[in-house]
Amino acid sequence: MNILILGGGGREHALAWAIKQNPKCDRLIVAPGNAGIAAIAECAALNPEDGAEVVAFCEENAIDFVVVGPEAPLAAGVADALRGAGILCFGPSAEAARLESSKSFTKEVCDAAGAPTAGWARFSDLEAAKAHVRAQGAPIVVKADGLAAGKGVIVAMTLDEALAGLDEIFGGAFGAAGAEVVIEEFMAGEEASFFVLVDGETVLPIGTAQDHKRVGDGDTGPNTGGMGAYSPAPVLSPEIAEQALDRIVRPTMAEMARRGTPYQGVLYAGLMIENGVARLVEYNVRFGDPECQVLMMRLGAQALDLLLAAAEGRLAEARVNWAEDHALTVVMAARGYPGAYEKGSEIKGLDGLGEDSFAMVFHAGTRADGARILAQGGRVLNVTARGATLAEAQARAYAMVDAIDWPGGFCRRDIGWRAL
């Protein structure tokens, strides 16, 4: 079959790498793609958020199946446009994608489903929000309601931080995403990510992961889009995973179906685990980046069969063929990230790393200049490896990092520390 993947980061490189290994895949196109993806698939210039443009492209290129990587095209209704045109698509409708694009919507759905999450209140007025924060006290969490690329959340340890956060959000720092504010009870515990596929009805777990948000070793420095990840996450034990399915994920999915907006695609549940109890922090309606890289490395070619089963409503008969393995990915970023960084530095040593089904460098922000590979973004490479143990996966990943010659880049040296 002919397959189109929308997106152009490390997540989409990992999806392309896994899908390409499946003999069902004939032609693979990624839009917009990147320099690493170009080595294994065709890249197409296309606006992934424009439903009409994506549909027209699919019709011209006889695309049989579309996999949507990032959240923005989903929130923009691209999956609806594709399904409306009779094109098979992996990814939720715009209405179901509100589980990521609106925090208050998610809270309402969780309350209706009885899914455990932090206590919350919603405000569209600054003074009322401030009065609530003063009454509740710190620590407390203040969030812009809409999508703000992970920057609209203030985990306030003091009252002053919470009040300043409200001023910032209502002051317009996040535009329309901050027209409403959700104020949440602070949850303590350890965070982990739980990934399931959903076909509208059936929920199929496909793995757990933990990421590393801070830029520096030992979880220090500013927040980033993620500096590394590993799978599985030991804190999300089989018992906790079962509990999260029973109390959180399945009830939420049943509530979405009851509302007439069943969910189809991957659902990424961010969980907070404390004393053997899991509560929901947030849902995302797409794979995490870089969590997708470790999941795809573990799933390999069967990923395509699973995504197809979700899109075609056949998850009840689908099975994951688990290898009892571990995968770990180290993000290499341009010096200066997450602050200002330079673009255009050359990355050498990528050839001859001996990439195979146990070790791959997925490209995030790269650009080809003839035969040279140049850094083109903040997070640039995802050096990913798999092993019988996490320690083995970690050693393999860092051996590749050390073989890459890129003075303009850096990485954390402690990815996986929580589990090791």
> Which positions lie near ligand ATP, rule CB under 6 A?
118, 141, 143, 148, 150, 152-153, 155, 184-187, 191, 270, 281-282
Residue nearest to ligand ATP (CB): 150
Q: Which is nearer to ligand ATP, 18 or 196 (CB)?
A: 196
Minimum distance from residue 118 beta carbon to ligand ATP (Å): 4
Closest distance to ligand ATP from the beta carbon of 46 (Å)? 25
- Cβ-based nearer residue to ligand ATP, 144 or 306: 144
* Closest distance of CB 335 from ligand ATP, Å: 22
The nearest distance, CB 273 to ligand ATP, in angstroms, is 12
Nearer to ligand ATP, 57 or 283 (CB): 283
Distances (CA, A) of 41 to 8, 297, 392, 413: 12, 17, 30, 31
> How far, CA to CA in Å, does 78 sit from each of 50, 53, 70, 91, 92?
7, 9, 11, 9, 9
The minimum distance between CB 142 and ligand ATP, in angstroms, equals 10
CA-wise closest residue to 89 among 60, 58, 61, 117: 58
| Residue closer to ligand ATP (CB basis): 143 or 212 | 143
CB of 121 to ligand ATP, least distance (A): 12
Q: For ligand ATP, which is the closer residue by CB, 152 or 408?
A: 152
| Burial class of residue 235 in the structure, from the number of CB atoms within 10 Å of its CB (0-12 exposed, 13-18 middle, 19+ buried) | middle
C-beta closer to ligand ATP: residue 105 or 186:
186
